[in-house]
Amino acid sequence: MTSQLEQLKTFTTVVADTGDIDAIRRYRPQDATTNPTLLLKAATLPAYEEQVKAALAFGKQYGRGSTDSLQYATDKLSVLIGKEIVSLIPGRISTEVDARLSFNTRATIEKAQRLIDMYAQEGIEKDRVLIKIASTWEGIRAAEKLEKEGIQTNLTLLFGFAQACACADAGVYLISPFVGRILDWYKKSTGKESYLPHEDPGVQSVSCIFNYYKGNGYNTVVMGASFRNTGEITELAGCDRLTISPALLEELENSTETLERKLDAANPQSTESKIAVSESSYRWDMNEDAMATEKLAEGIRNFAADQVKLEKTLTELAKA
């Protein structure tokens, strides 16, 4: 019998949401994505010991002062881990800009350009890399400029329809709406402990965005992310891409239940016309969407905190 994972791959491009080399080898995803949380875990794995040493040496060589050296080291580590992952996949690696730059358009652009230059130094062309940027207004503006420079982007921490509309308007390559975190918010807000897959607020959000994009001819790729269970994943079969953790990939691999296509780009279920987005309309719509506002802020804080933890880990490793 064909596993659900193999069935899913006939509808959807599967992306591994991990920096674990063994998991990537096992599940053979098309693409892979990392973030500060995953890099923090990867930095302590024996498989990446050489990359950590090389990153620290790079920081000492090119950094100007302790803080700058540390930032160079963390950037280099993310690139070296990305390089290792790229050698195992046919597609792209998503590498994230420091979340502390989420409200600084110019600094985001400069960081993205530096990461792309670092990849080039390692022999990795920019068409194998997506730069991950938080879906703030400032981040979306940075992505718009980067796309015009030929640097393609992955807009992450996306929770609300306003964010999705602004990203499509800006011509970004890919968005990552966070299914599970949306569900988390609604469970906490309503006190409802469980939802059927088709009633899951995160599933409904991604389905709405997917159908809006396809119904209006947007080329921006929709990649569902942050899943809490396989029901969310199977309910989004047919979405352009889904980035899935190793634990859930294993569940899908172990299941042989029949999987049906739920989303179809050739037959989008949407009558919503294109929505013009301005800064004021974006900010107002986000203000009206408590879930999106709260989860975006929380996500940025958490990624920033893990970035700091990563820097502290590298500092300790440098002393060892």
Q: Are 136 and 160 in contact (CB under 8 A)?
A: no
Structural domains of the chain, ranges and CATH numbers in brackets: 4-315 (3.20.20.70)
User: What pLDDT, on a 0 to 100 scale, did the predictor assign at position 62?
Assistant: 79
The per-residue pLDDT for range 37-61, each reduced to its tens digit, is 878 888 888 888 899 999 999 988 8
Please name which of 123, 41, 117, 106 lies closest in space to residue 75, comparing C-alpha atoms. Answer: 117
| H or E element at residue 155 | strand 153-158
User: What pLDDT, on a 0 to 100 scale, did the predictor assign at position 41?
Assistant: 83
User: What pLDDT, on a 0 to 100 scale, did the predictor assign at position 78?
Assistant: 94
The per-residue pLDDT for range 250-274, each reduced to its tens digit, is 999 999 999 999 999 999 987 789 9
Q: Are 140 and 172 in contact (CB under 8 A)?
A: yes
The per-residue pLDDT for range 57-100, each reduced to its tens digit, is 998 887 776 678 889 999 999 999 999 999 999 999 999 999 99
Q: Which amino acid is at 188?
A: K
- Say which of 132, 214, 262, 295 is annotated catalytic: 132
231 versus 17: which is more confidently predicted? 231
Measure CA 273 to chain center: 27
22 pLDDT tier (thresholds 50, 70, 90)? confident
111 pLDDT tier (thresholds 50, 70, 90)? very high
**119 contacts: CB under 8 Å, gap ≥ 6:** 79, 82, 83, 95, 125, 126, 128, 129
Dist. CA 258–CA 36, nearest whole Å? 35
**Bridge partners for 31 per DSSP:** 15
3-class secondary structure per residue, 5-30 = HHHHHHHCEEEEECCCHHHHHHHCCC
With tokens 């599970």, the residue in question is 180
User: What pLDDT, on a 0 to 100 scale, did the predictor assign at position 279?
Assistant: 98
Active site residue 41: no
- Please state the rounded mean pLDDT for residues 159-187: 97
> Helices then strands (H, E): number in the chain?
14, 8
User: What pLDDT, on a 0 to 100 scale, did the predictor assign at position 234?
Assistant: 98
Dist. CA 263–CA 69, nearest whole Å? 46
Q: Which amino acid is at 295?
A: K
With tokens 């503006």, the residue in question is 141
Dist. CA 140–CA 152, nearest whole Å? 12
Residue 19 pLDDT > 80 = no
pTM of the model: 0.94
- What share of the chain in percent tops pLDDT 70? 99
- Please state the rounded mean pLDDT for residues 244-250: 94
- Please state the rounded mean pLDDT for residues 198-202: 97
- Please state the rounded mean pLDDT for residues 183-197: 96
Which three-class secondary structure state does DSSP give residue 122?
coil
